[in-house]
Amino acid sequence: MSSLSNKNILVGVTGGIAAYKSAEIVRLLRDFGADVRVIMTPAAVEFIRPLTLQALSGNPVHIELVDAEAEAGMGHIELARWADLLLVAPATANSLATLVHGAADTLLGAVYLATPATVAIAPAMNQGMWLHPANLANIAELERRGATIIGPTSGLQACGDVGPGRLATPTEIAERVAASFTPGILQGVRVIITAGPTREAIDPVRYISNHSSGKMGYALAAAAADAGATVTLISGPVNLDAPEHCHLTSVISANEMYLASMQACKNAHVFIGAAAVADYRCVDVSSQKIKKQACNLTLQLEKNIDIITAVGSANDHLYVVGFAAETENLTANAQLKLDRKQLNAIVANDVSRTDIGFDADDNEVYWITPNSEIQMHKKSKTQLARDLIQCIANDLDHRTVADISG
Ligand code: C5P
């Protein structure tokens, strides 16, 4: 668990239904060791009582901008100076607009203008409000000014809608706040990740592909970016949103993925081949839709280039991590693949199980290097990705990173 000891966190609670979750956020921040003070907007007071946040933070709650009593204790300028980080959670659409425009008619607005602290914002609102261009422009502007935007997540909302706009979980918010005080374990490292399936055309309407959802590769890209890496995600066709702070290159076929990978790896430190690349492609791709025939149809297939082997042998200093999706003899087959493809590490998972692997939200894998084998028990792909990024960071030879210039 990250530590927030000796850190002063000022939590701004604004007036949305998710305000009740600020209680848990304040509690977690204190568990992490932070000194916590809370500002509530007048609208937030309609949703959660100040006394709750006072008890949990161990400090009086600040509400009014002009409050003689509060100013005698800790006024708004002192509050702004006191904070090492200002966390606005939940941040309503209105409060985001207020921050963007620099309105100082609330205590939170005034403190935002006055504080030299790092700013983190966890938005929460109805999905239509979140997706409105005005709101998205506000988010982009706050990000441009250096604020860390945490969430929102997607799902069922208090109003009954389904979509993006749910407050990130209190745990994620507290962890992201804590992480913002520690330099990322992959700071300055350039990481290329392939993800998802590839599609090999048969004719203009048909293709050969596989069940890869891309979830593991996308989770790795998000975890690497969170760890401070500069991430290029080369993705086959998937139904996932691009992770924040990653450069996304979309491809269809294995050959396109190969070309994009070779280009991206010229200047990279780490390559993670999480894609389920088709091993074969059609020798002849018909330019017209192939008509159904009375007899059987035979397709002649030729081998695709092995991308991970190609990028590894073309780039001496690249730290290369492969994936082995196996249905039997999991670790033995993965070991063979590690040797054959000359990888630095391989992540082995059992794709014969339906509760993990392809398309599942969870995974259970082995992390195998030439001299170690670690079993990682079943957990969410998000958590697993963080653990794998930690393994890579531990294993990475930092001289290798320093060797590559540009
Ligand atoms: O040989 P196999 O497909 O089982 O190896 C899996 C690993 O190799 C994965 O990391 C996958 O991304 C990579 N791979 C590749 N190019 C291919 C086939 C697999 O990079 N053509």
pLDDT digit string, tens, across residues 183-207: 788 988 999 999 999 999 999 999 9
180 forms beta bridges with: none
Taking CB atoms and a 6 Å cutoff, what residues make up the pocket around ligand 1? 194, 254, 273, 275, 277, 279, 304, 306-308, 322-324, 337
CA of 321 to the centre of ligand 1 (A): 10
373 forms beta bridges with: 368
Whether 217 has a pLDDT exceeding 60, the answer reads yes
Mean pLDDT, the chain, rounded, equals: 92
Cis amide linkage into residue 152, ω under 30° from 0: yes
Structure tokens belonging to residue 135 = 């709101």
Q: Using CB atoms within 10 A of its CB, is residue 370 exposed (0-12), middle (13-18) or buried (19+)?
A: exposed
> Of all atoms in ligand 1, which is nearest to the CA of residue 311?
20
CA of 276 to the centre of ligand 1 (A): 6
Q: How far is CA 311 from CA 219, 277, 393, 398, in A?
A: 22, 14, 20, 20
Min mean pLDDT across 163-177, 260-274, 334-348, 376-390 is at 376-390
> Of all atoms in ligand 1, which is nearest to the CA of residue 324?
6
Q: What is the pLDDT of residue 183?
A: 77
Q: Where in the chain is the domain with CATH 3.40.50.10300?
A: 190-404
Q: Which of 159, 265, 282, 295 is catalytic?
A: 159
Q: Where in the chain is the domain with CATH 3.40.50.1950?
A: 2-179
Contact between 199 and 253 under an 8 Å Cβ cutoff? The reply is: yes
Amino acid at 193: I
> Of all atoms in ligand 1, which is nearest to the CA of residue 272?
10
Its pTM stands at 0.65
Cis amide linkage into residue 42, ω under 30° from 0: no
Q: What is the pLDDT of residue 2?
A: 56
User: Which residue would you say has higher pLDDT here, 291 or 1?
Assistant: 291
Residue with the smallest CA separation from ligand 1 atom 19 is: 277
As a three-state string, the secondary structure of the chain is CCCCCCCEEEEEECCCHHHHHHHHHHHHHHHCCCEEEEEECCCHHHCCCHHHHHHHHCCCCECCCCCHHHHHHHCHHHHHHHCCEEEEEEECHHHHHHHHHCCCCCHHHHHHHHCCCEEEEEECCCHHHHHCHHHHHHHHHHHHCCCEECCCEEEECCCCCEEEEECCCHHHHHHHHHHCCCCCCCCCCEEEEEECECCEECCCCCEECCCCCCHHHHHHHHHHHHCCCEEEEEECCCCCCCCCCEEEEECCCHHHHHHHHHHHHCCCCEEEECCECCCEEECCCCCCCCCCCCCCCCCCEEECCCHHHHHHHHCCCCEEEEEEEECCCHHHHHHHHHHHCCCCEEEEEECCCCCCCCCCCEEEEEEEECCEEEEEEEEEHHHHHHHHHHHHHHHCCHHHHHHCCC
Fold of the domain built from segment(s) 190-404 = Rossmann fold (3.40.50)
Amino acid at 406: G
CA of 121 to the centre of ligand 1 (A): 39
Q: What is the CA radius of gyration of the chain?
A: 25
Contact between 50 and 22 under an 8 Å Cβ cutoff? The reply is: no
Question: If pLDDT is split at 50, 70 and 90, which confidence band does 16 have?
Answer: very high
pLDDT digit string, tens, across residues 229-272: 999 999 999 999 999 889 999 999 999 999 999 999 998 999 99
Q: What is the pLDDT of residue 72?
A: 62
Min mean pLDDT across 66-80, 260-274, 288-302, 370-384 is at 66-80
Whether 65 has a pLDDT exceeding 90, the answer reads no
- Which of 307, 321, 326, 350 gets mutated to test ligand 1 (max ligand atoms within 8 A of its CB)? 307
Contact between 363 and 384 under an 8 Å Cβ cutoff? The reply is: yes
Q: Residue for token digits 């946040």?
A: 53
Residue with the smallest CA separation from ligand 1 atom 5 is: 324
Structure tokens belonging to residue 212 = 């890869």
Average pLDDT over residues 341-362: 85
Residue 38 to residue 42: CA distance in whole angstroms: 13
Helix 133-144 vs helix 93-101: angle between axes, to the nearest 10 degrees?
A: 50
> Of all atoms in ligand 1, which is nearest to the CA of residue 279?
21
Whether 357 has a pLDDT exceeding 70, the answer reads no
Q: Domain 2-179: give its CATH architecture.
A: 3-Layer(aba) Sandwich (3.40)
Verify whether residue 265 is a known catalytic residue.
no
Average pLDDT over residues 118-146: 93
